[in-house]
Amino acid sequence: MVSNASDRPRIGITTYLEPAIWGIWQREAALLPRVYLDAVVAAGGTPLLLPPVGTDPSVLGVLDGLVIAGGCDVDPAAYGATPHPETIGTSPGRDQHDATLIQAALEWERPGRPVGLPLLAVCRGLQVLNVALGGTLHQHLPEVVAHDDHRPAPAAFGSTEIKVEPGTLTHRILGAQATGSCYHHQAIDVLAPALTVTARAGDGTIEAAEVADRAFALGIQWHPEETRDDLRLFTALIRSTR
């Protein structure tokens, strides 16, 4: 079921599955930083949470768009690599959940609309998108770029200057340059065949990639939900659902 034009589009957002504490309880919980929810609401959508339990791609039938959220390292087994010592806290079940929803979203068919449910993949989301389509990752980016600017300190976001390729969806949304809040130590290495690089950092790190034959299937390496005064990516996602 797709929203009427007068409705707020329903945007599914993937979640974490982590030990959590609230009130007197300490249990495993599906959770997500609130900034994702606020960004979707502020851009004009209604957020629906998609926990990595009981994955069923038919849930896309009640959505108008999909956000693959950031989070933990991608399990290198997903792309046939041996774990690096800095690759920790992986969640293979969440990797599979996100990859299943990505694959289904890219092939989703709706009457009178282009193939594919509008998709925005954030940080780890871009990495899962690349792996799901046959690419690989740098497991510890500081060894590649010789600095820690993409993850400067625990729980501290860095700032990345991004150069955007002209003639791309990313360029239509952001223009030639952008500044992104970043927190990651992994990034795309071998690009999946179905993806096109649409933005890079000054050190060459791939910052955005698109599925070329879909109207809106965009992955970004930074965290736009952390920049509350710049909703352009979320607004573009919402508009693409109309």
Q: Which residues are catalytic?
A: 123, 223, 225
Q: How many CB atoms lie within 10 A of CB 154?
A: 6
Residue 54 DSSP one-character state: S
Q: How many CB atoms lie within 10 A of CB 230?
A: 16
Which among 22, 61, 78, 69 has a CA at the least distance from the CA of 226? 69
Q: Which letter, b or e, does each residue of 99-121 get, where b requires 16 or more Cβ atoms within 10 Å of its Cβ? A: bebbebbbebeeeeeeebbbbbb
Which among 70, 34, 28 has a CA at the least distance from the CA of 53? 28
Which among 76, 119, 77 has a CA at the least distance from the CA of 98? 119
> φ and ψ at 213, to 5 degrees?
-100, 25
C-alpha 124/C-alpha 214 separation (Å) is 20
If 0-12 CB within 10 Å is exposed, 13-18 middle and 19+ buried, where does residue 29 land?
Answer: middle
